[in-house]
Amino acid sequence: MKKIFSLAVILIILNNSCSKQRLFGKAICEGYIYDSIGGKGSEGISVILKACHPNDGRNFCATFTLGSTTTDASGYYKIEEKSARSGRYYISGMGIKYQELNENDLKNTNYTTGYLKK
């Protein structure tokens, strides 16, 4: 029993020290992208959720892709992935300001809504 417990502890430590993503928890990023002329949703816009590498404390960190999607007919998108260990995120997509966000910001429409300029 002690061997199984010790092995489990070692695996958890290795996962936490080597992995880019947390073992538990989800990062959910959802929002809309609208056409700034007319205000209708923009379909087929690619949106990518990126996160900072866990040990990179620089202002402009090295990132990796957590997930990506495209908007539907109403301009809606949703990306749901494991949380990043760094807790630092970037949303990349047309009309969305590329800036560093935290998990609370991913739920804020001020950061997840974009407007295409034509």
What is the pLDDT confidence band of residue 18, given thresholds at 50, 70 and 90? very low
Pairing of strands 89-93, 21-35: unpaired
The count of domains in the chain is 1
Q: What CATH number does the domain containing 32 carry?
A: 2.60.40.10
Cα separation, 35 vs 21, whole angstroms: 34
**Residues spanned by the domain of 74:** 2-116
How high is the mean pLDDT of the chain?
81
Cα dihedral value 70, 72, 76, 82, nearest 10: -40
* Model confidence pLDDT, tens digit, residues 95-117: 888 888 888 888 888 888 888 87
Q: Does residue 42 sit in helix, strand or coil?
A: coil
**114 touches 54 (CB < 8 A):** no
